[in-house]
Structure 1
């Protein structure tokens, strides 16, 4: 199914509107008015992201708990006290409950990769008796002396967590996704350069492949990977890909769209025409045959000259400086940092096809009048 309402960049509201349900599923209504159940793993994926956002905000604020404000009598005149409602304490309790459930008490977290913030939070608070009691049961009552010790312990753990965020190893781990993005960009640029060394004209087709709003909550990483592998298998046998000379794909995740792929195809430009139709046929193959009607696609080649500042879609000759610049921009976009997918997927989220071996055959196309301007060494990496 063609997604005419497609918008590739989520809004801030979409990123923050993440639900944190922790049940076995939630009843809702689909577009046809039919009652359906949203599976719990859909909410767990959103919890992983929401926790990371909360941890980043908490780390930036650097707040501590105030015992005088927190410690309140359980009843008027009573010597038994409890810790009163407090935004920071509530955040700590929620984070503890979700992260411990995910990564300590169950096997749910085996499918996810905790962020450096979450890893250090579990190190600092994983053994906290108060948060376990408050998170999984109810806030306990205690003596005033015990309450003072509890607040002191929580602040000590908070201080240790804040301090861990300043360590070099934390910074190194946080930059892992940036390094991966840099390497992916370099790989894609190398592939494009090698293709232009082999072919004087490429037909560039980009199709974004996703799932319907009804189906996307049910699509986990394993399902998305299976569908992608099925599509890649058709490269060797479907007539659509007879002139395919290279490709790349990137897996992403968004709160509303769920898992989806950005696919970039390179065809022999002297043998392939009608890029818009080619993209449409690939999208229909995904939507109908590969996913069995669960899929959506967006044809990026359609009206590309009016949609993109640097258009790289369609036919690109080795001497076309303007379109090559578009390819650089597109490569940069397709390999941008994606922290969400990095947390939700332990497997591969980006891949390019092998570079063609120029020595395997003659360069395709007319003799070159000058050297190609494409040079990986001239790329300014992000």
Structure 2
């Protein structure tokens, strides 16, 4: 996809999320499987080979997954317990794809010991998955991920209780490639600077809410997925407004170090578009907006960025409908955890 103004899109694209989802699914299937994963096969010439049973074929799928072997993910992210389980045991067993290749089934060295090692790896995975400590960690992780999505959807619903129409902007804010080493602390400082300036900059005069999510890409470094909510009765032209916010980040907040991606500039590419003007009573658009919010939290279902402090946040909910206009204070809009 072409990038606008040196724009940045999240490095954790949906294909990565899908691969993580598959890794979690196949790990669960491996845990449920029974019997030996591998057997020793000796042909008429006395050569030893690896025979793949059902669990062995599943393990082979997992060993082939790039995201599980990429150490950059492990250094910055905390995997979902199922994925963490398979990553640890594959590493402990020293498993490599070449060992489990159908085209290289003949094993070097002591084939019998290798089969025992591989079967032992699968048995250890099954055993750990049944222990109370693992189940507790799994329940805790899943509650956390679901809690974030629930809080954000409730936040959006609260905005619609106050405003009949919302102009929803989706902008990714990051750094140029030569500044991809920007630290998490520096990125946080830039984000706080941006939100602090919303009180004095007319560009944000009709903003009624926002959601932010910090992510990291191996090439792009730290970047933010942002959703801005404006009073739809007062502003229009979402693509233009999103571009102005992106340019403000690029030129003023980051002093030329930043880049952005304006999702509103090409809404037609989205199969289910939940950005732009969204009416309170437009259920299809509201549903699509829910999916856009889900996208912000979806990666957390399988892999969470290890952040210094908060990795996600939102502006406080607005006053109930009928309250007087939003006060124009000197201090920036207060945030709460998402």
TM-score range, shorter chain: 0.5 to 0.7
Structure 1 residue 177: deviation in Å?
Answer: 4.6
The 1:295–1:153 alpha-carbon spacing in structure 2 relative to 1, beyond 3 Å, is same
1:292 alignment counterpart? 255
C-alpha separation in 2, matches of 1:326 and 1:169: 38
RMSD, matched Cα: 5.5
The 1:267–1:127 alpha-carbon spacing in structure 2 relative to 1, beyond 3 Å, is closer
Q: Secondary structure at the match of 1:322?
A: helix
Q: Secondary structure at the match of 1:223?
A: helix
2:243 alignment counterpart? 280
- TM-score for both structures, normalised by structure 2: 0.63
Q: Higher RCO, 1 or 2 (CA under 8 Å, sep at least 6)? A: 2
Partners of 1:209 and 1:262 within 8 A in 2: yes
Partners of 1:204 and 1:265 within 8 A in 2: yes
Structure 1 residue 283: deviation in Å?
Answer: 0.6
The 1:203–1:114 alpha-carbon spacing in structure 2 relative to 1, beyond 3 Å, is closer
The 1:203–1:11 alpha-carbon spacing in structure 2 relative to 1, beyond 3 Å, is closer
The 1:207–1:5 alpha-carbon spacing in structure 2 relative to 1, beyond 3 Å, is closer
Measured against aligned partners, the alpha-carbon deviations of 1:67-101 in whole angstroms (never above 9, x if no partner) come to: 9x9xxxxxxxxxxxxxxxxxx9xxx9xxxxx9xx9
Unaligned residue ranges in structure 2 (runs of 5+):
43-58, 64-68, 95-109, 327-338
The 1:264–1:6 alpha-carbon spacing in structure 2 relative to 1, beyond 3 Å, is closer
Structure 1 residue 280: deviation in Å?
Answer: 0.8
The 1:186–1:60 alpha-carbon spacing in structure 2 relative to 1, beyond 3 Å, is closer
For residue 321 of structure 1, the aligned residue among 269, 274, 283 is 283
Unaligned residue ranges in structure 1 (runs of 5+):
17-48, 70-87, 93-97, 103-107, 131-143, 365-382
2:169 alignment counterpart? 205
Structure 1 residue 314: deviation in Å?
Answer: 2.6
C-alpha separation in 1, matches of 2:324 and 2:159: 13
Partners of 1:116 and 1:170 within 8 A in 2: yes
The 1:66–1:226 alpha-carbon spacing in structure 2 relative to 1, beyond 3 Å, is farther
Q: Secondary structure at the match of 1:236?
A: coil
